[in-house]
Amino acid sequence: MSRMRKAFVLVLVWVAVVGLPRQSFAQQDPQFTQYMFNGLLLNPAYAGSRGFTSLSGSHRSQWTGLEGAPISQTLSVDGNLNRKLAGGFIITNDRLGAQRFTEVSFNSAVRISLNANTKLAVGLSLGVTQQTLDGTKLDPAERDDMAIPMGIERAVKPNARAGAYLYSNRFYTGLSVGNVVFFQDGLPTDPQAHVFLTSGGVFDLGRKMKFRPSMLLKEDFNGPAALDLNTFLLFNEQIWVGTSFRTTLNIFNNREFASATRLGNALAVLLELHPSPLMRIGYSYDFSLNQLRSYSSHEISLGFNFLKKKYGRMLTPRYF
């Protein structure tokens, strides 16, 4: 491997974890602050768990105003096929610097009722990922390095996700493995498998107020684990107001490296509006607690619920 390529790999790894700005970026999985309102992003077993068909879409602009910063979109739909089977479809697009990842996948889930209120779902997702690297956007120090493409290169590869999801009306926990791309090329742009652990619940604080804490732990075994801690207050079943804190943990890596990457800490404020049981509108504002504090991140999301009537009245959406 040439010195230029070694340097390129080191920069990508550093940027993937710490998020330093310049000509290119690397992150192994699209990041959405409002993931808790679309569980299909992380776990195929989530499909159909809300009891009705739902459509969700998000757009995220990370580090707005910074050249080459990540821009991500996702669109998904999921619902029940019968009392035990569910299905879903999700497409995700992630652009960062000279790289672009587009993933299309189909999800399926099987549910088992453990008691009157608690269910366990197991899900599988199969799809394809297209990786694109635009060499014309790179500015290598060594012009003749064969490791850097001169034009646009594309590769399409199959991928898979698998997960389990335990939930009731008041709590949930899920474990999944995502971003499993077959036929790796050994390049720094190859996606890495991620393990996601999610959990949360809802607690009554009064007749018209509820408290919803949740967490997400993301591990790829190549760098420090990412931890999101979230808290929400729900007012009158219509307005979610919340905060999120993102940091890193040393679980499978040396402490010095994990300590250095704590520069990636960030805070977010979130607002979710439910003008009716059929519709959700969300916005989140992120700001970094590091040298990128001058660049904020913005995310908007929309959700539509296709609810059915039961016993003459409209069913109400679940809290997660």
**Over the stretch 152-168, which tens digit does the pLDDT of each residue have?**
778 888 889 999 999 99
Residue 240 has pLDDT above 50, yes or no: yes
User: What whole-number percentage of the chain has pLDDT above 90?
Assistant: 50
- The predicted model gives 102-120 an average pLDDT of 94
**Over the stretch 208-237, which tens digit does the pLDDT of each residue have?**
999 999 999 998 877 778 899 999 999 998
**Tell me, what's the pLDDT at 185?**
62
**Tell me, what's the pLDDT at 14?**
36
Topology, domain 27-306: Porin (2.40.160)
Q: pLDDT higher for 6 or 54?
A: 54
**Tell me, what's the pLDDT at 318?**
75
**Over the stretch 5-20, which tens digit does the pLDDT of each residue have?**
333 333 333 343 333 3
pTM of the model: 0.83
**Over the stretch 18-32, which tens digit does the pLDDT of each residue have?**
333 333 333 457 889
**Tell me, what's the pLDDT at 301?**
97
**Tell me, what's the pLDDT at 258?**
47
Residues 6+ apart with CB under 8 A from 111: 48, 49, 83, 84, 85, 86, 119, 120, 121
Domain limits, the chain:
27-306
140-154 in b/e form (b: 16+ CB < 10 A) is eeeeeeeebeeeeee
Residue 135 has pLDDT above 80, yes or no: no
